[in-house]
Amino acid sequence: MATSIKVFSLFTILFTCEIDVFSSTTTAAYSIGVNYGTVANNLPPPSQVATFLKTKTTIDRIKLFDANADILKAFANTGIAVTVTVGNGDIPSLAKLPAAQSWIANNILPFHPQTKLNYIAVGNEILATSDKFLIAHLLPAMKALRSALDSANASTIKVSTPHSLGILSASEPPSSGKFRKGYDKAIFAPILEYHRQTKSPFMVNPYPYFGFQPETLNYALFKPNAGVFDPVTGVNYTNMFDAQMDAVYWAMKKVGYEDVEIVVAETGWPSAGDPGQPGVSLENALSYNGNLVKHVNSGKGTPLMPNRTFETYIFSLFNENLKPSVSEQNFGLFRPDLTPVYDVSISRDGQVTLFFSDVNLLNHARIV
Ligand SMILES: *[C@@H]1O[C@H](CO)[C@@H](O)[C@H](O)[C@H]1NC(C)=O
Ligand SMILES: *[C@@H]1O[C@H](CO)[C@@H](O)[C@H](O)[C@H]1NC(C)=O
Ligand SMILES: *[C@@H]1O[C@H](CO)[C@@H](O)[C@H](O)[C@H]1NC(C)=O
């Protein structure tokens, strides 16, 4: 991860390789993660993707929605960290140690440590499935995989599971944030206890895109806005991302686990959708993702989690043409031919530079 980055320009958001913006001693190169989804029939081969990310971008982490062996092989020796995901349906069987051991032996050990695996995500948004059988086996599967990793001398790989914000029964204002009744003590307290003991992160998928109203669009996009005041804390929230993160923080605090690290496993904004679809545009996608990257890397944290940097994975790397709706097909930073969706061009010396037409946005970003 890049550390102590103090300067920023929108040019450096996602794609800059070592452009020195303001001083001769500081190199601004934001690290950022992306979800490498593959619901498409036109994506380039993984080896090409790995070379592209390594040589042309500052993306230093990817998250997969499976444990695709070709991708894991392709990212060997790139230094790019990889998160793999266990299929939801595999969770019940993996609650037993022998099954967890063979899953690790088959899916992880052939690639470890040449491929830098950092997390195993056990299922995706399991609580949102409302499937009691899966939910009951989630933590046992996480523990069994943890044990299997330890016994295979792969203890650097951490185990977690990403949650949608549907786990909260209230989130506005943030101080009302709490886990759904029935899940708080029975499900989340033990999961968070596991994270605390294993020093693994609580993974959440905050999506202001799914939470904004017409009047809160600027608030969701990190643009100038009137703010949202939380009367309990006296905090005036100026962006919805902070508010969603602090709602999660409050829920964790209410069960006694606000010290556990949080990873943003997914967040993003589509650049295109159906005609007239509210809030969907290229400019908005650029504003959200660009400002998000700046924000999470700034070290400012959130009002209730000051000075914290959140490891963040944008959804997603590519536009995926087999997703069901137009907007879902257009969350990508890149097209399948590796050209950027936002207006980006690659300069002669191999650096990738962002260009775009909104001068105000550009100026805003450069002033910060
Ligand atoms: C365990 O892993 C470490 C680091 O990956 C390696 O240096 C060591 O040789 C391994 N030990 C065994 C017994 O495989
Ligand atoms: C919250 O902050 C915004 C933006 O700085 C400001 O316009 C607004 O007046 C503030 N509201 C309150 C209640 O402090
Ligand atoms: C956060 O960082 C600022 C500036 O370095 C410092 O003044 C402040 O005390 C820090 N706050 C916490 C809670 O660590």
Q: Which residues contact 213 (CB under 8 A, 6 or more apart)?
A: none
Q: What is the mean pLDDT of residues 216-239?
A: 97
Token pair listed for 253: 């605090």
Judge whether 125 counts as a catalytic residue.
yes
What is the rounded CA–CA span in Å between residue 64 and residue 85? 6
Nearest CA to ligand 2 atom 14: 236
Position 297 scores a pLDDT of: 85
pLDDT band (50, 70, 90) for residue 57: confident
Query: Given the CA of residue 113, which atom of ligand 1 is nearest to it?
Result: 5
Position 120 scores a pLDDT of: 98
Residue 14 predicted with pLDDT over 50? no
113 Cβ closer than 6 Å to some ligand 1 atom:
yes
Position 58 scores a pLDDT of: 84
Superfamily holding 10-367:
Glycosidases (3.20.20.80)
Query: What is the value of pTM for the model shown?
Result: 0.87
Position 320 scores a pLDDT of: 98
Distance 306 CA to ligand 3 centre (A): 7
Nearest CA to ligand 1 atom 5: 113
Query: How does pLDDT run across 158-211, given as a tens digit for each residue?
Result: 999 999 999 999 999 999 999 999 999 999 999 999 999 999 999 999 999 999
Position 30 scores a pLDDT of: 67
Query: Given the CA of residue 301, which atom of ligand 3 is nearest to it?
Result: 1
Report which of residues 210 and 17 the model is more confident about: 210
Ligand with minimal distance to 117 CA: 1
Query: How does pLDDT run across 63-115, given as a tens digit for each residue?
Result: 999 999 999 999 999 999 999 999 999 999 999 999 999 999 999 999 999 99
Nearest CA to ligand 2 atom 8: 226
Ligand with minimal distance to 227 CA: 2
Judge whether 311 counts as a catalytic residue.
no
pLDDT band (50, 70, 90) for residue 313: very high
Mean pLDDT of the chain: 87
Residue 286 predicted with pLDDT over 70? yes
Position 348 scores a pLDDT of: 25
Position 29 scores a pLDDT of: 55
From 294-303, 304-313, 350-359, the region with the lowest mean pLDDT? 350-359
pLDDT above 90 covers a percentage of the chain that reads 80
Query: How does pLDDT run across 331-364, given as a tens digit for each residue?
Result: 999 999 999 997 543 322 344 444 332 323 333 3
| Domain limits, the chain | 10-367
Position 361 scores a pLDDT of: 37
Position 342 scores a pLDDT of: 78
- Inter-CA distances, 177 with 102, 105, 121, 253, Å: 39, 40, 24, 9
Question: Three-state SS string across the chain, please?
Answer: CCCCCCCCCHHHCCCCCCECCCCCCCCECCCEEEEECCCCCCCCCHHHHHHHHHHHCCEEEEEECCCCHHHHHHCCCCCCEEEEEECHHHHHHHCCHHHHHHHHHHHCCCCCCCCCEEEEEECCCHHHHCCHHHHHHHHHHHHHHHHHHHHCCCCCCEEECEEEHHHEEECCCHHHCEECCCCHHHHHHHHHHHHHHHCCCEEEECCHHHCCCHHHHHHHCCCCCCCEEECCCCEEECCHHHHHHHHHHHHHHHCCCCCCCEEEEEECCCCCCCCCCCCCCHHHHHHHHHHHHHHHHCCCECCCCECCCCCEEECCCECCCCCCCCCHHHCCCECCCCCECCCEEECCCCCEEECCCCHHHHHHHHHC
Query: How does pLDDT run across 120-149, given as a tens digit for each residue?
Result: 999 999 999 999 999 999 999 999 999 999
